[in-house]
Structure 1
């Protein structure tokens, strides 16, 4: 088994472990984060109905406009601010954070901190 497949298997195990505990409700939907090498994505999901309420990513033009490179901490902060603003417009103030099996540091932590500073609580 090569290094990449070991890494993805470890992330899958962490994802299952986290998802067992983290469920999004109507009062507190789930803020799910996915990161790739070039981009970072965030969405707020209501698990009882399976609906995605709010999305933001570095692929969207409003976030990617001012970014020179979309795979760094500054881009993750911009996504965190964008997702929090969109959530507050939809009257979503509290969420449950789902790091989606990724370790809580770097871009994932930057997104979470930026969303907290903008007004989301989790």
Structure 2
């Protein structure tokens, strides 16, 4: 399984893309989130990362929601600003659960490009 983390450049800014797209198997989703959490743990906890989480085409269950809540809370020291690509109302509910649990604010977008542009401008 390839890394769920990609470092991309947008308008001269580095953005961390957490790719959770097209997850249909809950165990795969939890594993992607676990691997992403390990990647974040190796970063400098200076609150400087711009992070885009894209969950387009994915399905959720209780285990994935728990993993999302966990990584959202875990990443507080690392992330300065976060955007989440949540194309459906189900995705928005999951984002809101993670936001409430972690006491973090996420800016929601329906597609990836506007999310990346917004992150680069922050």
Query: TM-score, normalising length from structure 1?
Result: 0.40
Greater strand share, 1 or 2? 2
Q: Give the TM-score normalised by structure 2.
A: 0.40
